[in-house]
Amino acid sequence: MIDDRPTFHSGVVRPMECLRGGWALIKDDYWLFMGIAVLGALIASVAPFGILAGPMLCGIYICLLRRHDGKRVKFEMLFKGFDHFVQSFIATLIMMVPILVVMVPCYIAFIAVMMAQMPPPGQKAPPPNADALGTILGAYALFILVMLAISIVVSILFFFTYPLIVDRKLTGVQAVGLSIRAARANLGGLIGLVLLLNLLGILGVMACYIGAFFLLPVHFAAVAFAYRKVFPDLDDESSSSVREPERMDEDD
């Protein structure tokens, strides 16, 4: 059977509007959403390969989208993300692929540069060499910049993946594909929003990491607000300003 894919708006993401809208979304129950965001992030970080990251992020967005749609939110709703465990894990694995494809060769290249600056085995170590140190530091800085760049690209392209899984009940593969198309249609705004959220995250870390915890619910809320701008509530999808629906593959 052939179904229509969810429709989406183009060019509607404005970074500061999303940040303000995200704050307005949670400010009346800030401590509730802080608890949801912090606990979700902590649980997501305890298992390897993102096994728990997908369900926890889905749970966070379930809570935020319920609030956006005017529904009641309870703390335990965070764990409803496990209802989407399989599809969110598939999406997480897909998102890890481009990172690993870039990270592994860069890491090997960095190790090769370091080894090239070291004396051969059994040879007495020479005095400290400023040029060798500069080469190693330069290679490390380049490695960090490349990883930062790929992280930003992945954040932009897969920006809507987890909200799509919980809101539109898509599979992990479908959510990733639709997120990429919607991101391309809102590229300028998403670049600005991702950079803004990363900057706030850096400022939070600089505040002895404590600031990062306080900013975490605002981060997720801004993403949820941006998602609703691009993917309106199903009751509003007949709007004339919305893109024409794309078609599902028959095997979906």
Specify the pLDDT at position 134: 79
Q: For 91-118, write each residue's pLDDT tens digit.
A: 999 999 988 888 888 888 878 877 776 7
Task: Report phi then psi at 247, rounded to 5.
Answer: -100, 140
Count of helix runs (H) and strand runs (E) in the chain: 9, 0
pTM for the complete prediction? 0.82
Which of 24-38, 107-121, 135-149 has maximum average pLDDT?
Answer: 24-38
41-45, 129-133, 222-226: which is most confident: 222-226
Distance, first Cα to last Cα, the chain? 8
H or E, element range at 73: none
Which tokens hold the place of 215?
Answer: 């900013």
Residue 191: per-residue pLDDT = 96
Strand partners, 247: 4
Q: What residue spans of 83-127 are helical by DSSP H? A: 85-116
Whole-number pLDDT of residue 236: 56
**Span 161-182, mean pLDDT?**
96
Q: DSSP class of residue 4?
A: B
pLDDT tens profile 196-252? 999 998 888 887 778 889 999 999 999 999 999 999 987 655 443 334 334 333 334
